[in-house]
Amino acid sequence: MATDPQQACFEAGIKFGSLYHQFAGTPVSPDSTRSLETAMAEAIENQPFCESVDVDISDSLVAEAIDHENGYTELTGNLMTVEMRIEYEGVTARTRMEMEDGYPLMKLISVDE
Amino acid sequence: MATDPQQACFEAGIKFGSLYHQFAGTPVSPDSTRSLETAMAEAIENQPFCESVDVDISDSLVAEAIDHENGYTELTGNLMTVEMRIEYEGVTARTRMEMEDGYPLMKLISVDE
Amino acid sequence: MATDPQQACFEAGIKFGSLYHQFAGTPVSPDSTRSLETAMAEAIENQPFCESVDVDISDSLVAEAIDHENGYTELTGNLMTVEMRIEYEGVTARTRMEMEDGYPLMKLISVDE
Amino acid sequence: MATDPQQACFEAGIKFGSLYHQFAGTPVSPDSTRSLETAMAEAIENQPFCESVDVDISDSLVAEAIDHENGYTELTGNLMTVEMRIEYEGVTARTRMEMEDGYPLMKLISVDE
C-alpha cells in the first residue's frame, strides 16, 4: 500500500501531466496569454486534492516565438512556469515546472506532513 | 485549384477541428465555464482568417454531467454551442456546432462572397 | 526534499495525466482500437523512468458507445484500462486506471524499494 | 446554403484541425514513429467522409529534435507530412500539410466533382 505522502505525490504528478498535455499546442499570442493562464489554472483546480494552480505564460517569450506572418505560436513548456499545491490527507505537496538547462522540467519542490 | 469560397470553407473547418480537439477533455465545472469559454475563443481567434469565435458552455448541462463525488466533468461537444466567422479574400463563412438528434454537429451555416 | 519513493510516485502520476489528456477525445472504433493502444503505450514509454505501459481498449464497450450513424466514438476513461510500471532510482511504482463505481480511477497499486 | 464542393472543403478542414490538435504534443522518438503514424491515420479515418489519411513522421527530423538527455521530443507540424482524401456527395477534396518557408502549412490541393 502507498503511504499518504506517496499518494500526494502521485496526485501531484497527475495534475501536472494533465495540465501539460491538455493545453500544449494551444494557439497563443500576447493578446491571449491572460485568458489562457486563467482557464488552465481553473480547469486543473477542478481536479481532486488540487488546492491551487498558478500559470505564468511569458508575453515576451511568446512574442519572440511568433513568426512575423502567422501572428501566433503554440503553447509549449518553454513559454511558461507553473506552480501547484496538492493537499492529500494532511500532506502538502508543492510542484513547479520551470526551465532547466534549456528544457522545461516538472519538479517536486516539497512534501510536508 | 480551389476557389476562394472553397478555401474559406477549408479554413473554417480547420478552426472547428482545432477548437474541438484542443479543448475536449478539459476538466470543467460551473465555476470554470466562463474562463474556459474566453480562453477557447481567444486561442482560436489567433488563427489566420478567423474573425470571431463565440463559445457558450452550458452551466446547467455541466452541473447535470457532474458526478456528486468528483465535482467536475470533462468538456465534450454535448455541453457547448460554438459559432465562428471566417473571412478569406472577401468571402465570409459562418459555422455553428450544436446538438442535433442527440449528437453535436459542426455545420457550415452560410458562405457569402 | 522528496524521497526516492515519493519521486517515483510523482513520475508515475505525470505519466498517467499525460496519457489521459493527450489521447482522450481521439476518434475510435473497433477497427482502430489496436493501433491506438499500441501508439499510446509506445508514446508514454518514451518518457523518463517509464518502463512499461499497457493499454487495453475494450472493443465491446467502444461498439456499445458508437451511435449507429456516426460509426465512431471518442476515447474516454470508461472505455479502457491502463497499467504502468515506473522505475526511479531502484523504486518500482505500479499504477492502474480502471472503473470503480462507474467512474475511471487512476490508482497507485504498489511502491517497492 | 453551402454547395457540395464547399461542404467537402469544410469537412476536409475539420479533419486536418482534428488530427493536428489531437496529436500535437505526443511524446515521440524514432522507436515510436510507426505506431503513431498508424494510430493517427486510423483515428481520423473514423470520421465521416474521410476516405484516406496518410501520415509520414520523419525519423531523421525526430532524431534531430531530440535532446541527448531526454530521449524523446513532442510531435509538431515540423516533423511530419500528412495527406488526406475526403469524399462528400461525389466531390473529392485532397489536402496536404507540409513545410513551406520553415512553417507547416495545411493546404487544399484539389477539389474535383
E strands, chain D, where?
27-28, 50-57, 73-74, 80-88, 91-100, 103-112
> Alpha-carbon torsion D90, B82, A36, C45, what sign?
negative
pLDDT value at residue D96 = 97
| DSSP H or E segment with residue D6 | helix D4-23
- CB contact under 8 Å between D70 and A103, yes or no, is yes
Tell me the three state secondary structure of residue A50.
Answer: strand
Top pLDDT among C101 and B97 is at: B97
- Whether A74 contacts chain D with CB within 8 A: yes
Nearest Cα residue to A106 out of A1, A22, A9, A4? A9
Give the minimum alpha-carbon distance from B8 to chain A in angstroms, rounded to a whole number. 17
Is the per-residue pLDDT at B87 higher than 90? Answer: yes
Nearest Cα residue to D18 out of A30, C27, A69? C27
Task: Decide: B37 and B75 in contact? Cβ < 8 Å.
Answer: no
Nearest Cα residue to C19 out of C110, C80, C69? C80
- Whether B53 contacts chain D with CB within 8 A: no
> What residues contact residue B3 under an 8 Å CB cut-off, 6+ apart?
D111
Sheet holding D50-57, edge to edge: D50-57, D80-88, D91-100, D103-112
Sheet holding A103-112, edge to edge: A50-57, A80-88, A91-100, A103-112
pLDDT value at residue D104 = 84
Q: What is the model's pTM?
A: 0.95
C-alpha–C-alpha distance, residues C45 and C55, integer Å: 11
CB contacts < 8 A (B, C): 20
Q: Sort out which chain A residues have CB atoms less than 8 A from D102's CB and list them.
A: 67
pLDDT value at residue B59 = 97
| DSSP H or E segment with residue A107 | strand A103-112
Tell me the three state secondary structure of residue B59.
Answer: helix
Tell me the three state secondary structure of residue D113.
Answer: coil
Summarize pLDDT for A10-42 with one digit per residue, the tens. 999 999 999 999 999 999 999 999 999 999 999
Q: Sort out which chain C residues have CB atoms less than 8 A from A18's CB and list them.
A: 17-18, 20-21
pLDDT value at residue A83 = 98
CA distances to A57, A104, C105, D109 from D74, rounded to whole Å, are: 19, 12, 26, 27
Q: What is the ipTM of this complex?
A: 0.95
With both helix axes pointing from N to C terminus, report the angle between A33-45 and A4-23 in degrees, rounded to the nearest 10.
140
pLDDT value at residue A112 = 94
Task: Decide: D44 and C57 in contact? Cβ < 8 Å.
Answer: no
Q: What is the mean pLDDT of residues B53-64?
A: 96
Phi, psi angles (nearest 5°) of residue C32: -125, 10
C-alpha–C-alpha distance, residues B100 and B110, integer Å: 18
pLDDT band at B51 (very low <50, low <70, confident <90, very high): very high
> What residues contact residue C76 under an 8 Å CB cut-off, 6+ apart?
B74, C24, C104
Task: Decide: D33 and A33 in contact? Cβ < 8 Å.
Answer: no
- Whether D46 contacts chain C with CB within 8 A: yes
Q: pLDDT averaged over consecutive 10-residue blocks of chain A (113 residues)?
A: 95 96 96 98 96 97 84 94 97 93 88 93
Task: Decide: C82 and C19 in contact? Cβ < 8 Å.
Answer: yes
Phi, psi angles (nearest 5°) of residue D91: -100, 135
C-alpha–C-alpha distance, residues A47 and C78, integer Å: 17
C-alpha–C-alpha distance, residues D53 and C5, integer Å: 44
> Alpha-carbon torsion A10, A13, A15, A21, what sign?
negative
Please state whether B49 falls in left (phi above 0), alpha (psi between -120 and 50) or beta: left
Is the per-residue pLDDT at C42 higher than 90? Answer: yes
Enter the C-alpha cell of residue C104. 475511471
The two most distant CA atoms of chain D are separated, in Å, by: 55
pLDDT value at residue B68 = 63
Is the per-residue pLDDT at B58 higher than 90? Answer: yes
pLDDT value at residue A68 = 63
> What residues contact residue C73 under an 8 Å CB cut-off, 6+ apart?
C27, C28, C29, C62, C65, C66, C67, C79
Summarize pLDDT for D50-102 with one digit per residue, the tens. 999 999 999 999 999 997 667 899 999 999 999 999 999 999 999 999 888 77
Task: Decide: A74 and A80 in contact? Cβ < 8 Å.
Answer: no
Which amino acid type is present at position C54?
D
Say which of D3, D11, D110 has its CB closest to residue B13: D11
pLDDT value at residue C99 = 83
- Whether B86 contacts chain A with CB within 8 A: no
- CB contact under 8 Å between C7 and A108, yes or no, is yes
